[in-house]
Chains A and B, each alone.
Chain A
Amino acid sequence: MLSLKMECLLFLFECVVCKRILPLLSCMKNETPLFLTAPYLMGIIGLCSFSFCVGSEKIQKVQTFSQIIVPPNFVCVVSLVNEYHFYNSIKSNQFFSIMTILLMMGFICGGQGGCEKSLQFRNSFLGKDNSFLERNNKLVKVYKTAAFKSPKKSLTVFAVQTKPVDNLGDTFSQKNSNQVKVTQVPDVHGHFGRYGGQFVPETLFFCLENLAKCFGETRNDPMFHKELDLLLKDFVGRPSPLYFAEHLSSRYARKDGSGPRIYLKREDLNHTGAHKINNSLAQCLLARKLGKTRVIAETGAGQHGVATATVCARFGLKCVVYMGAKDMKRQSLNVFRMRLLGAEVREVTAGTGTLTNALSEAIRDWVTYPEETHYIVGSVSGPHPYPLIVREFQSIIGKETKQQAKEKWGTSPDILIACVGGGSNAMGLFHDFVEDPNVRLIGVEAAGEGLGSQKHAATLTCGQLGVLHGAMSYVIQDEDGQIKEVHSISAGLDYPGVGPEHAYLKDTGRAEYFAVTDREAIQGFKLLSRMEGIIPALETAHAVAYLDKLCPTLSGSPNIVLCCSGRGDKDVHTVMDYLKENGDSDIHLDDL
């Protein structure tokens, strides 16, 4: 046990000899381990000023105070930790690396048993609203605070999280740290941070396990990729063009000629008219590999159902598509197409008769016939491994875009924008760019009749944490947790959930999500038709409509890539009916 005075001298020794002041100053420059700065400063100033005081009482008080701020023993360890910081990449989880080191050191050197007291003081200082830190650390946003006692009770440590790291939890599991590399997300149980997972009845687990295993094998199987690439080229018509929308861009041009340059990734030019076929085709190959004879799918707008029926016709597999009764009415063209292609379309009347009910029914079908059936999920939602699989197969969109962007203007795009229902076209476009912080990712959801009304489908903007269709994500639900009825004029965005990876991207701040109303989407529908001669799907029209809000906020001439996820032939009746009901100044409707 060191005497009090010895501790103070040791501390000063540290300050001077170890030159901890310097790392401290560089900390402040880099803004990295700022969370240690304030306690540091207080501790140094406090103890420096009082260390030569005579009278043990004063020193006792100072020591208690400093134990709140910087227990003397802590100081030596912290200096080592600072050094550690600079040899580690910024991306690593600072919180855990520091905590691990501190606890491993198990630093005991003397000190009073003021631990209990200092923890109490700490709690009253830092409390719930971090007012103490706010007063001292105005530069820093505090995400979380925590206090720990060392095993020998002479060391109190508290730490402040100043960088957003998702899902710290109360455990030091390494599974949650270092999750910045996109290829490592999701983990083996399908978690993106705390989202994702497999919340399904037990009966489905053996299917999901087989699927995950089979998918893992195909990833490294060159034959599978060769067959898939050939089909994507000859059957689907890839690569889809990256088209410079010159006329549309001129709408946002400024007087000096600068302005955003808008490019459209033409997924609407694929066979079947949407991006859905990228996924359906590849999953059909997977189903064949798994030896399944029957394929089921759910569909909202009908595009995924059509794409699945198309590939099943091509491969001779039996196909059953579940579609909500309401959707069947508003997308009857697609219903006929599916039947023409040989699929059976089953009407789902439960609930609101939309995508969410169709998804539930498809899952029930799968639970009943798991052995012979493969369920082709249409979006990056559902239980693991579906969000991963669908993302992988849709990521061809982003891969091609990267290549095409390089060819066209030499660098990656500055902004990516896509509509988000379940999130498959957005995830497909975003995936290859998630690791590049210079690319801004924007997702556009359906605000239906307005976010204030009860009739919208803006899950990421207005939803809460919940479990839907096998995955933990954002969900639009009522006060009890019952899934709510949602509304959007576009069937494909009319879904109260969203893919878990989008929830993760939103929480980590990597992607931004906004919402656009039905009326704005109709304007977007007309805009692209009028300005580029391309009639987009109503889903895509939401992203187009957002351009009007986005472009005035931009400076310079950023290259924007908008994913034109589908064509709008299927929507013309819906739009016509809407315009007839609400009136339109541009289009002559009286004789229709």
Chain B
Amino acid sequence: MSLIDKIFQETKSNNKIALMPFIMAGDPNIETTVKALNILDKSGSHMIELGIPYSDPLADGPIMQASAQRALNRGFRINHVFSILENIKLSIPIIIFCYFNLILHYGINNFIYKLYQLNVKGIIIPDLPIEEADEILMICQQYKINLNMLVSPVSTESRISSIVKKANGFIYLVSSTGVTGIRDNFSDVIKDKIETIRKYSTKPIVIGFGVSKPSHIKQIKAWGADGIIIGSACIQEISKSTQSDELNDFKNFLNKMIESI
């Protein structure tokens, strides 16, 4: 059983939900990213999602777009992500969030191999559909890296079944239509979708897009999901915190969220 599967199993048996915060590499600068990663490591989160800034993020709302733009304006390069990961020691697994063109341009094989060398455990590619994923799935399986596929609340059942059959990691169920960004509440459709997915697969289900409050976590946990990804809210907290050096706002935010899992 992979490390990530073990983590999900553990949290489930402790009647908790796995917390997976997301941060954008290089926003506002590399030092902050390294600090944030270390904070996340000790915060009680179960996994970290690290996003690679991209110039045309189709799935991202204004907060993430601005975050990626800030990183790119400072001259962020893909090699910076690799050097961050090479020089850091973390106790919890990392999952990379990256758009497909960056991977394609680097060379799919080279990229996945690089992740393997850096001990990255999984990857999420928001604009890669299951139909185009054969090559990368094969390579990911070779290097034992999870390719976590996305499912949306408007995905048809036949599509869900074909996706979950091929995916080799957890299932990332986005909480609503639309792009990333903080939302007020979530619809019950998610609960139904979780049940539909469970019909076809026993893989862990993770919810993301829009989570920002402890009440969200409680609600999603009650619906039976295995994990929660918090993205835009984390980025917002980090951008607040850069005045003080210690990212205290970010730390407090994480503590608050950890309490509700």
On A, residues with C-beta under 8 Å from B are 189, 197-203, 205-206, 209, 350-351, 356, 360, 363-364, 367-371, 464-470, 472, 475, 477, 480-483
Contact = CB atoms under 8 A, between A and B. Distances in A.
Contacts of A371: 154, 177
A205 B159 contact: yes
Interface in B133-157: 149-156
Contacts of B102: 480-482
B56 A356 contact: yes
19 contacts: A189-B132, A199-B100, A202-B129, A202-B151, A202-B155, A205-B155, A205-B159, A209-B156, A351-B56, A351-B69, A363-B58, A364-B58, A364-B61, A367-B58, A367-B177, A464-B105, A475-B101, A477-B101, A477-B105
Contacts of B154: 203, 206, 370-371
B237 interface: no
A257 B246 CA distance: 82
A205 B152 CA distance: 9
Given A367-B178, A467-B127, A482-B54, A201 B101 contact: no
A386 to B, nearest CB: 14
B58 A466 contact: no
Given A350-B69, A364-B58, A367-B59, A203 B105 contact: no
A467 B100 contact: yes
A355 to B, nearest CB: 12
Given A205-B159, A467-B127, A480 B179 contact: no
Contacts of B104: 465-467, 481
A201 B58 contact: yes
A360 B60 CA distance: 10
Interface string B91-108: 000000000111111100
Contacts of B60: 364
Contacts of B55: 351, 482-483
Contact of A367 (B128, B149, B179): B179
A368 B177 contact: yes
6 closest A-B pairs by beta carbon, nearest first, are A481-B105, A368-B178, A203-B152, A481-B102, A482-B55, A201-B59
B212 interface: no
Interface string B30-72: 0000000000000000000000001111111100010001001
Contacts of B163: 202
Contacts of B100: 199, 467
B126 interface: yes
- Most B CB within 10 A of own CB, among A201, A351, A464, A469: A201
A206 B56 contact: no
A251 to B, nearest CB: 42
Contacts of B153: 203
Interface string B70-88: 0010000110000000000
Given A360-B58, A364-B58, A206 B156 contact: yes
Given A189-B132, A202-B163, 10 more contacts: A199-B100, A202-B151, A203-B154, A206-B152, A364-B58, A468-B56, A469-B58, A480-B102, A481-B105, A482-B102
B30 to A, nearest CB: 15
Nearest to A203: B152
Contacts of A470: 58, 127
Interface string B147-178: 00111111110010001000000000010011
Contact of A369 (B61, B77, B174, B177): B177
B131 interface: yes
Contact of A468 (B59, B101, B129, B156): B101
A197 to B, nearest CB: 5
A200 B127 contact: yes
Nearest to B102: A481
Nearest to B62: A350
A360 B153 CA distance: 21
